[in-house]
Amino acid sequence: MKYTKEVKTALLAIVAILLFIFGYSFLKGKNWFDSSRTFYAIYNDVEGLSPSSPVTINGLKVGNVTKIGFLDHSGKLVVTFLVDNSFPFSENSVAQIYGGGLIGGKSLAIIPKYEEGQMAKSGDTLPGAIEEGLLELVNERLTPLQEKVEKVIVSTDSLINSFNEVMNPTTRQNLKNSIANLNATIASLNNSANTVEDVLTENSPKLDRTFTNLDEMAVNFSNFSDTLSQFDVRKVTEDLEMAVANFENVTRKLNSGEGTAGKLLNDPSVFNNLERATNQLDALIQDVKLNPKRYVHFSIFGKNPGPYSPPRDSLK
């Protein structure tokens, strides 16, 4: 059976239209020859998820997002996605939006739960969740840093303004004068150091002799210390205690009137007798001086010694 050109052209056009529809549906995530299950998930924000985004389980692609639309007037979004029939999971499994970065888009991951609830079937609505992506994490980390940087910039600006206020022309001139005075002081100290060095150089022999004498004194002091260490301090202390005891004994005897010295110090009659004897001896000496012939007389013919002349101060 032969077909005319018109029939062939019509058939070719129909096949092309079907291929176009199939390809367009496939690009949107629909596969007419695949018996996949359809699930739904509700979100407040899909975070950039788009139709044809992959659906994964444990990192393995098991389907695609087919449609994203508004649920109602509240603004919530419902995401429709397909999953292969070959993988079972419970109806409490979470459909989590994850990923996203500077280049890649968002994806939908099913976090399966096997022991909670019944097995999910086509048409079920899974709980939705959103994982923080790279941009959210970077924004979360950079926001505090940005605030700190802004505070530092404000503080730096205030510090610079305060520094400019302090560093007025008068202050600058005072700083210059202070630096000049400091240079002069350093120069003076340098001259003093040179002078001291010259003095030390000139008196180096004297200093050497001084240190030598100090060494000798240290040696002598060490020898003296050795002598002191060998000195019998205990014997000297005992002798000194004995001398003090003897002195106390003598003092006690003198105070109590024992012995001649004690009686002399404590008995008035002894003192009076001693004074009387002294006066009589003094009178006798004067009489000898005035009348020597009465005591020393040599006469052959027995000459009279003459009249007696009493002393001027006689004992009454």
**pLDDT for 200-251, tens place per residue?**
888 888 888 888 888 888 888 877 777 766 666 777 788 888 888 888 887 8
Are 78 and 70 in contact by the 8 Å Cβ rule? The answer is yes
Range scoring the smallest mean pLDDT among 32-36, 204-208, 271-275: 32-36
Q: pTM for the full model?
A: 0.38
**pLDDT for 106-152, tens place per residue?**
899 999 887 767 888 888 999 999 887 555 556 667 778 878 888 88
Report domain 34-131's class.
mainly beta
Confidence check: pLDDT of 69 > 70: yes
How confident is the model at residue 264, as a pLDDT? Answer: 65
Task: Report residue 76 as tokens.
Answer: 């919530």
How confident is the model at residue 19, as a pLDDT? Answer: 85
How confident is the model at residue 316, as a pLDDT? Answer: 47
Single out the residue of 119, 46, 144, 124 nearest to residue 82, CA to CA: 124
How confident is the model at residue 170, as a pLDDT? Answer: 83
How confident is the model at residue 21, as a pLDDT? Answer: 82
How many angstroms separate the Cα of 71 from the Cα of each of 182, 266, 277? 82, 140, 156
* Structural domain boundaries in the chain: 1-33, 34-131, 167-231
Are 290 and 309 in contact by the 8 Å Cβ rule? The answer is yes
How many angstroms separate the Cα of 278 from the Cα of each of 288, 294, 311? 15, 22, 15
